[in-house]
A and B are shown apart, each in its own frame.
Chain A
Amino acid sequence: MEFSTAARILMCPADYFGIEYEINPWMNMQQGTNRQLARRQWQRLYQTLCDLGAAIDLLEPVPGLPDLVFTANAGLVFHDVFLPARFRFGVRQGESPHFGKWARDRGFTLVPLPESMKFEGAGDALFCGDTLFAGYRFRSDVRSHHWVGERLGVPALPLELVDPRFYHLDTCFCPVAPGVAIYYPGAFDEYGRSVLKDRIDRLVEVSAEEAVSFSCNAVVVGRSIVLNQGAPKLAAALETLGFNVRPLEFSEFIKSGGSAKCLTLRIDGEEAASWRHAGQIPSC
């Protein structure tokens, strides 16, 4: 693998993006999406990330795989290890070979989870500091997180997601730096909220109205944060913490239950992941 200091991100153009099935409360096949607008919104994100200095890997879009655009669910990256997703729904399982091929070509060592497990990659597993926070119930199952934690030798804390609108952890929780994260409390139960409050030094609450506009689904590059527009209170809070906020329009992707973060996979480790800064590569 080649290493550089620039943020590296995997994206997949929205050429075939659309709503062809319904697997979360946001999706409505009758309503559909505006394909042209979706492409423009994707392009703007791509450009913004490039402007922020990120190097973007592009995955070839595939007809019939409308959600391949949501690369966050490809798998989980840890140093040079890639744990490919095991999608819960059959309609997304066709994405796995494409993500797998990309990861192998990129030089990652693939560590597949047992077939009986469900695990939707960085959609449900996010490092904050040295801890892997992991959402379960709607997509990933809790056993997969235990397995990943043990396999990677990191503390993995499964958090139950209780609101089907926030079906992936990255729709309601976003680590922005080691020890700093934003979250929407209503997506978790009391146990989950206690764990987050206990384990994260600086936890910024997102209001219900801003959470439903997918503002937690943010991409962090250095001290810049790209998120859906329509969350002025969160933007202000992040700016107070010293971040530059880049609000963009993601209306077409939100119709499918995704936003900025879902459209990206950080290849070199999220900004909030301690291991990214530590640099050592453990054997796995």
Chain B
Amino acid sequence: MTHAGQWGSEAKPEGLDSASVPGVVDEIEVRGHIVDSLLLPKILDRILQMGGSFEIHECKIGVRRSDPSYARIGVRADSPEAIDAILGDLVEHGASPVHAEDARTVPADIAGAFPDAFYSTTNQRTQVRFKGRWIDVQDQEMDCGIALNPASGVARCVPMICVALGMPIVVGHAGVRVLPVERPRESTLFGFMSSLVSSEKPKSVSLKSVAEAIRATRAAGKKVLMVGGPAIVHTGSVPYVAKLIRDGWIQTVFAGNALATHDVEQALYGTSLGVSIERGEPIEHGHEHHLRAINTIRRAGGLERAIESGMLASGIMYECIKHKVDLVLAGSIRDDGPLPEVITDTLLAQDRMRQSIRDVGFALLIATALHSIATGNLLPAWVKVVCVDINPATVTKLSDRGTFQTIGLVTDVEPFVRSLAVELSSTSAPSGK
């Protein structure tokens, strides 16, 4: 049971960043006739009065009147001093700290690999106990280890490849706990969707909810990430995505060589994979357009140079660069060219994406299985994810790989993006980045 409004405070209605709130956590227990004596409500009230928040981890009520009851309560406060003050007060009312073990670390004996028995992370909010205190693990990411720096007292997720020799890595499960994301309470898409993937939901309702989540994310000062595949271009959705970027609704874009290439192809030739966007018909020699587009950009020295010279004057890439969107283009083995901005070293690309998701509060994954799954692997579970794809299997794959918070909208891309641009243009654009 979580106290209403605690942990992911209701002051942040979307609960988007509950885990990024810095804080110190400890756990207390209290035993005795704490229900009849009103000691339990008193303890909970005092936590709130002193500026903390709580979560009841366990509560056993005595069966008979003479039986004692028991409660184990997580307490969170803004600083070590604040939590010490709260715990000091609660001790007077019979609460005592739960003496859990500190997390155990072992220095990495090989660079680029974890020690045996390393703790393998999930994408859920995780805490480790260090010197008797629960601290939040930073940079939460699934399939990583946890490096715990004893000097700074900071714990963070580290990918295997980033392990340095001697780095203290958390081993075993003692002193590690995972705090699952609560089911959202809001009555929006994220609250009422019971089946995660469906082509049979009223799209206008879903769309409004996505627009609302984007607005809330921006209002909370968080970034909106769009991950896109080339179908955005093929379906003629470029003008709408361009508008969303221009209007300041998207701060970060992940894509591959394909989206960028076809976007440029459209800007230069009016085609996507040789098909006229306006007429929907193949153009003679149109199949060469994408390669010629790549060649043109490579000859220009990259997208930025091509824009500077006036050669490239429209499209998603154009808007991204013009509006200083954080753009990460990650390559793959089937790429033509690729465009100079495409990062062809997979690990480097992963790392760039990792850096760029830090302040993301909402991710819109559109028509790409490859990049969506790659992004889902990096996102912590509290970032809301909406996956728009004509193929339900894409969303299923995403969930199966652990990005369980994904809401799937099975629909053609163009009507969705068009409607989203219209919906969001009805409100004023957010200021700044």
In the assembled complex, A142 has its CB within 8 A of some CB on chain B: yes
A154 CB–B CB distance under 8 Å:
yes
**Given A146-B68, A191-B41, A156-B93 contact (CB < 8 Å):** no
With A142-B94, A143-B94, A149-B68 as contacts: A156 and B38 at CB distance below 8 Å = no
Given A155-B65, A158-B94, the answer on whether A142 and B39 have CB atoms closer than 8 Å is yes
B352 within 8 A of A: no
CA of A143 to CA of B36 in the docked complex: distance in angstroms?
15
**Smallest CB separation, A70 vs chain B (Å):** 24
Residue A22 interfacial (CB < 8 Å)? no
Q: Is B177 an interface residue (CB 8 A)?
A: no
A156 contacts B96, C-beta separation under 8 Å: no
Q: Mark B94-117, 1 if CB is under 8 A from A, else 0.
A: 101000000000000000000000
Interface flags, B61-83, vs A, CB<8A=1, else 0 = 00001101000000000000000
B66 and A155 contact, CB distance less than 8 A? yes
**Alpha-carbon distance A159/B96, docked complex (angstroms):** 18
Give A137-154 as 1s and 0s: 1 = Cβ < 8 Å from B's Cβ atoms. Answer: 100011101100110011
A-contact bits for B21-52, CB 8 A (1 contact / 0 none): 00000000001110011110110000000000
Determine the chain A residues whose CB is within 8 A of the CB of B92 once the complex forms.
136-137, 141-142
A160 CB-CB contact with B under 8 Å: yes
List residues of chain A with CB within 8 A of the CB of B42. 160, 191
Dominant secondary structure at the B interface = loop
Q: Find the A residue at minimum CB distance from B68.
A: A150
Q: Whole-angstrom distance between the alpha carbons of A192 and B94 in the complex?
A: 15
Number of A residues, CB within 8 Å of B: 23
Q: Flag if A145 contacts B32 (CB, 8 Å).
A: yes
Per-residue CB contact flags for chain A residues 110-154 toward chain B (1 = under 8 Å, else 0) read 000000000000000000001000001100011101100110011
Which of A154, A157, A160 is B93 in contact with, Cβ under 8 Å?
Answer: A160
Given A156-B32, A156-B33, CB of A194 within 8 Å of CB of B38: yes
Give min CB distance, A148 to chain B, whole Å.
10
CA distance A62 to B31 in the complex (A): 39
> How many residue pairs bridge A and B at CB < 8 Å?
57
- B36 A195 Cβ-Cβ under 8 A: yes
- Assess the B66–A146 pair: CB atoms within 8 A: no
Give the number of residues in B that approach A within 8 Å (Cβ atoms).
Answer: 16
Residues of B within 8 A of A153 (CB): 66
The interface residues of chain A lying within 8 Å CB-to-CB of B68 are: 146, 149-150
In the complex, A88 has a CB within 8 A of chain B = no
> Is residue A199 contacting chain B, with contact meaning CB distance below 8 A?
yes
Q: How far is the CA of A192 from the CA of B65 in the complex (A)?
A: 18
Given A149-B68, A194-B38, A195-B38, does the pair A157, B96 have CB atoms closer than 8 Å? no
Contact flags (1/0) for A88-123 with B, using CB distance below 8 Å? 000000000000000000000000000000000000
Minimum C-beta distance from A79 to chain B (A): 15
A178 to chain B, nearest CB (A): 15
State whether A159 and B37 are in contact (beta carbons under 8 Å apart), knowing that A146-B31, A146-B32 are contacts in the complex.
yes
Chain B residues within an 8 Å CB radius of A137: 92
Give the chain A neighbours of B94 by CB distance below 8 A: 141-143, 146, 158
Task: Name the B residues within 8 Å of A159 (CB-CB).
Answer: 37
The chain A residue with its CB closest to the CB of B39 is A158
How near does chain B come to A190, taking the closest CB pair, in angstroms? 9
Mark each residue of chain A from 155 to 182: 1 if its CB lies under 8 Å from any CB of chain B, else 0: 1111110000000000000000000000
A142 touches B93 (CB 8 A): yes
A149 to B41, CA, bound (A): 19
Does B93 contact A150, Cβ atoms closer than 8 Å?
no
Residues in A whose Cβ lies below 8 Å from that of B96: 143
Residues of the A chain whose Cβ atoms lie less than 8 Å from the Cβ of B32: 142-143, 145-146, 149-150, 156, 158
Bound-complex Cα distance A153 to B68 (A): 9
Contact mask A24-43 → B, CB, 8 Å, 1/0?
00000000000000000000
B144 CB to nearest chain A CB (Å)? 41
List B contacts of A199 (CB < 8 A): 36
Q: What residues of B have a CB within 8 angstroms of the CB of A192 in the complex?
A: 38
B36 adjacent to A155 (CB under 8 Å): yes
Please measure, in the bound complex, the distance between the C-alpha atom of A157 and the C-alpha atom of B33, giving whole angstroms.
6
Chain B residues near A156: list those with CB within 8 A: 32-33, 37
Give bound CA distance, A68 to B37, whole Å: 31
Given A154-B66, A155-B66, answer yes or no on A149-B33 (Cβ-Cβ < 8 Å).
yes
Complex Cα distance A153/B33, Å?
Answer: 11
Chain A residue nearest to B41 in the complex (CB): A191
Min Cβ gap B131→A in Å is 23
In the complex, what's the smallest C-beta–C-beta distance from A139 to chain B, in angstroms? Answer: 13
A169 → B minimal CB distance (Å): 13
Quote the shortest CB–CB distance from B97 to chain A (angstroms). 13
Residues of chain B lying within 8 A (CB to CB) of residue A154: 66
Residues of A within 8 A of B37 (CB): 156-159, 191, 195
Q: Of residues B37, B39, B65, B96, which shows the largest number of chain A Cβ atoms within 10 Å of its Cβ? A: B37
Q: Which residues of A contact B33 (CB under 8 A)?
A: 146, 149, 155-158
- 7 shortest A-B CB distances, which residue pairs? A146-B32, A142-B94, A157-B37, A191-B38, A191-B42, A155-B65, A155-B33
A-B contact pairs, 29 of them (CB 8 A): A130-B65, A142-B32, A142-B39, A142-B93, A142-B94, A143-B94, A143-B96, A146-B31, A146-B32, A146-B33, A146-B94, A149-B32, A149-B66, A149-B68, A150-B32, A153-B66, A154-B66, A156-B33, A156-B37, A157-B37, A158-B37, A159-B37, A160-B93, A191-B37, A191-B38, A191-B42, A192-B38, A195-B36, A195-B38
List A residues at the B interface (Cβ < 8 Å). Answer: 130, 136-137, 141-143, 145-146, 149-150, 153-160, 191-192, 194-195, 199
Given contacts A141-B92, A157-B36, 15 further A-B contacts (CB under 8 A): A130-B65, A137-B92, A142-B39, A142-B92, A143-B96, A146-B31, A146-B94, A149-B32, A149-B68, A155-B65, A156-B33, A158-B32, A158-B39, A192-B38, A195-B36
